Amino acid sequence: MNLRLGEERIRRTCRELLAGSDRVSGRALRRELRTRFGAVGKTARVFQIWREESAPPVSAPASTEPPDVAELQQRLRVAEAAATDHLARAERAEFREQAHQDHWMMEIDRLREQLRAQPKYAAEIRGLQQQVLRLSAELQAARHLLSQPQ
């Protein structure tokens, strides 16, 4: 079964490992992910998150924002990235659906043309149309006879 690990789960696990030890490898992170969640995630993605989380903090000018604002901004960036990913997936699904519709439209058109190419096609259609007209006339006559008082 394909189990997709969310970025937040990977980041949280990485932070917990880093809090317990200064030196945590990407392999150790993947081992812990397999233990906790039964999946390790894509290697490139997990190692990218590991590099981001284990990188020394960049010395920035003293921020006037409270820590919870910084956390909210980080969550916003994560949510925006997820939204972008979901939009891309939806666009790919729409493209696949359109390709599917086009394929079957062409197949139906091909079969119709193949049917029209049959030698007796037009004659059969005319015969069926004449039969429908004759039966309609008979039905009309029968209704007319039934509607008259006796």
Q: What residues make up the domain containing 30? A: 1-55
Mean pLDDT (whole number) for 25-53 = 83
Q: Which of 5-14, 68-77, 121-130 has the lowest mean pLDDT?
A: 5-14
For residue 93, what pLDDT is reported?
95
- Render pLDDT for 52-67 as a digit per residue (tens, 0 to 9): 887 776 655 555 667 7
Look at residue 61 and tell me if it is in a domain: no
Flag whether pLDDT at 21 surpasses 80: no
Render 31-88 in DSSP notation, one character per residue.
HHHHHHHS----HHHHHHHHHHHHSPPP--PPP-S-HHHHHHHHHHHHHHHHHHHHHH
For residue 94, what pLDDT is reported?
95
Element (H, E) at 136: helix 121-147
Flag whether pLDDT at 1 surpasses 50: no
For residue 64, what pLDDT is reported?
67
Look at residue 78 and tell me if it is in a domain: no
For residue 34, what pLDDT is reported?
86
Between residues 105 and 39, which one has the greater pLDDT?
Answer: 105
For residue 63, what pLDDT is reported?
59
Look at residue 22 and tell me if it is in a domain: yes
Q: Determine contact, residues 9/37, Cβ cutoff 8 Å.
A: yes
Q: Are residues 49 and 6 in the same domain?
A: yes
Look at residue 142 and tell me if it is in a domain: yes
Q: Are residues 37 and 7 in the same domain?
A: yes
- Render pLDDT for 111-126 as a digit per residue (tens, 0 to 9): 999 888 887 877 888 8
For residue 144, what pLDDT is reported?
93
What does the alpha-carbon distance between residue 41 and residue 19 come to, in Å, rounded to a whole number? 21
